């Protein structure tokens, strides 16, 4: 999440606030230590019931406005609302059973994430795979802590969760402050100076939806594995969405990703010679080692690529990007045409180009008045957590078209922020009231004519 916040806010914005970030980080860790220590003896001073009521209120409020979201935003709001309500309900039910169920849920989440991280790191063997294994082992240790009843027989489950959240959040704040303290440029964006701003930067605002078909925007093209399979694929839940689709003959389709800007930049990396993707060879070429590097080529434009293959099956369009940063990134990146199925493929190339293009996007949108508003806004946006989780999973395994699609969708909500659900509901209510008043006014103006018509008909009627 540290790297993602550096990308969205930009180094210039964060560097001037590093002391505040450092102070918040230490305060968060200190508060987490107090709450964790308080829960160890089972006699809690942490306000569990008020916390659960706030959690329930937030969950109900999220569900109330979830229908105002669009696409993935709507789904995310429903998931968040249901999760908060379920967690709050278990806390309010209380007793040993409620705490035990919560412990199982949290422990299982940590166990699954840690196990997946260790397995993927050991298989892919990217540069920092040993560090990733250590992080996975830490998550498994936390899972074991939640599973076993010592020392409070699950009474402090909620307090432990809050404490761990404060620990990790504070640690991320401190890392962020240390990284940006003396940084002149963002290392997450190769060749792009953070101090340089585009003269064509968009006006800070909020948008009520994605860009229109003819509106200038950055477009992420994704060919999904299922959509590009030559034969009818054997459907496999999650696998054919994020990894590869396998047809009835055993042929593997991994999909593709590309990025296109309104200024004419097209970024699409492909192996110069088709890589053998049979099930027997796939596990070998999956490793991010130099012996799996092959020559690659960059496609000239979307029209050429789609005509030679097929149109992209999904598109994500973003208004708020910096063409100059994207151009600098592309000028440097295209000098190396190396292709590697795991660490330098079409999807990783698009993800890096997208990060270069939207660097400082949140600060441009919310930073007009200065202060901490941009920082607080992205922290309270659920899509930040989604983007961070997708980025973490891609970093510990490999970027795939499915992960790139989810990442682009989440970043589009952060770069092109939508109005909050309550604002949208208020606007819809005011619009409905305005239209109702117009309709009533039209009916009142037409009412005299309607009254005269019957009277005229009666007066002209012959007597019986």
Residue 175 has pLDDT above 80, yes or no: yes
Q: What is the per-residue pLDDT for 258? A: 96
Of the candidate ranges 115-129, 246-260, 285-299, 430-444, the one whose mean pLDDT is the lowest: 430-444
Q: What is the per-residue pLDDT for 458? A: 38
Claim: this prediction has a pTM higher than 0.85: no
| Residue 415 burial (C-beta neighbours within 10 Å; 0-12, 13-18, 19+) | buried
CA distance 326 to 33: 43
CA distance 388 to 395: 10
Over residues 417-445, the pLDDT tens digits come to 876 655 555 565 566 677 777 777 777 77
Q: What is the per-residue pLDDT for 442? A: 78
Q: What is the per-residue pLDDT for 253? A: 74
Edge-to-edge strand ranges of the sheet holding 314-318 = 266-267, 256-260, 218-223, 314-318
CB neighbours of 67 closer than 8 A, spacing ≥ 6?
Answer: 74
- Confidence class for position 369, pLDDT limits 50, 70, 90: low
What integer is the mean pLDDT of 75-84? 80
Do residues 381 and 414 lie in contact, with contact meaning Cβ atoms separated by under 8 Å? Answer: yes
Q: What is the per-residue pLDDT for 144? A: 94
Look at 326 and 275; give whichever has higher pLDDT.
326
What integer is the mean pLDDT of 233-237? 68
Residue 184 has pLDDT above 70, yes or no: no
Do residues 157 and 125 lie in contact, with contact meaning Cβ atoms separated by under 8 Å? Answer: no
Over residues 292-351, the pLDDT tens digits come to 788 999 999 999 999 988 899 999 999 999 999 999 999 999 999 999 888 889 999 999
> Residue 36's closest CA among 142, 140, 177, 173?
142
> Residue 47's closest CA among 126, 131, 159?
159
Q: What is the per-residue pLDDT for 186? A: 58
* 42 three-class SS: coil
Residue 399 has pLDDT above 70, yes or no: yes
State which of 43-52, 63-72, 230-239, 319-328 shows the largest mean pLDDT. 319-328
Q: How many CB atoms lie within 10 A of CB 312?
A: 23
């Amino acid at each position: 999440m540290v790297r993602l916040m550096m990308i969205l806010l930009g180094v210039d914005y964060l560097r001037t606030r590093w002391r505040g970030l450092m102070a918040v980080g230490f305060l968060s860790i200190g508060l987490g230590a107090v709450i964790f220590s308080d829960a160890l003896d089972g006699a809690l001073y942490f306000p569990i019931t008020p916390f659960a009521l706030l959690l329930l209120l937030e969950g109900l409020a999220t569900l109330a406005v979830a229908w105002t979201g669009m696409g993935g935003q709507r789904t995310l709001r429903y998931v968040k609302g249901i999760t908060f309500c379920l967690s709050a309900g278990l806390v309010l039910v209380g007793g040993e059973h409620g705490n035990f169920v919560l412990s199982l849920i949290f422990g299982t989440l940590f166990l699954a994430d840690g196990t997946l991280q260790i397995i993927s790191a050991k298989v892919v063997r990217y540069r920092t795979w040993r560090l990733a294994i250590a992080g996975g082992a830490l998550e498994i240790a936390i899972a074991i802590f939640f599973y076993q009843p010592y020392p409070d027989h699950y009474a402090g489950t909620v307090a432990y969760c809050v404490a761990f959240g404060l620990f990790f959040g504070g640690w991320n704040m401190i890392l962020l402050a240390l990284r940006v303290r003396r940084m002149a440029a963002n290392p997450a964006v190769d060749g792009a100076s953070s101090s340089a701003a585009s003269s064509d930067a968009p006006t800070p605002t909020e948008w009520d939806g994605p860009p229109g078909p003819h509106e200038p925007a950055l477009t992420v093209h994704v060919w999904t594995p299922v959509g590009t399979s030559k034969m009818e694929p054997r459907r496999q839940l999650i696998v054919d969405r994020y990894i590869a689709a396998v047809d009835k003959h055993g042929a593997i389709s991994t999909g593709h990703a590309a990025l296109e800007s309104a200024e004419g930049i097209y970024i699409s990396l492909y192996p110069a010679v088709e890589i053998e993707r049979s099930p027997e060879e796939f596990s070998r070429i999956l490793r991010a080692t130099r012996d799996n590097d092959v020559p690659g080529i960059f496609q000239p434009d979307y029209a050429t690529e789609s005509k030679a293959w097929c149109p992209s099956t999904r598109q994500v369009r973003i208004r708020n990007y910096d063409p100059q940063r994207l151009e600098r990134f592309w000028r440097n990146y295209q000098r190396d045409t190396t292709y590697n199925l795991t660490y330098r493929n079409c999807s990783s190339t698009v993800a890096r180009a997208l990060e270069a293009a939207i660097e400082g996007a949140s600060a441009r949108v919310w930073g007009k008045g200065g202060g901490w508003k941009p920082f607080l806004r992205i922290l309270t946006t659920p899509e930040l957590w989604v983007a961070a989780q997708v980025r973490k999973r891609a970093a510990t395994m490999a970027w795939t078209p499915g992960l790139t699609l989810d990442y682009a969708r989440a970043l589009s909500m952060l770069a092109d922020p939508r109005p909050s659900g309550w604002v949208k509901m208020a606007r819809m209510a005011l619009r409905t009231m305005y239209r109702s008043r117009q309709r009533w006014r039209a009916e009142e103006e037409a009412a005299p004519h309607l009254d005269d018509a019957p009277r005229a008909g009666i007066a002209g009627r012959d007597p019986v």
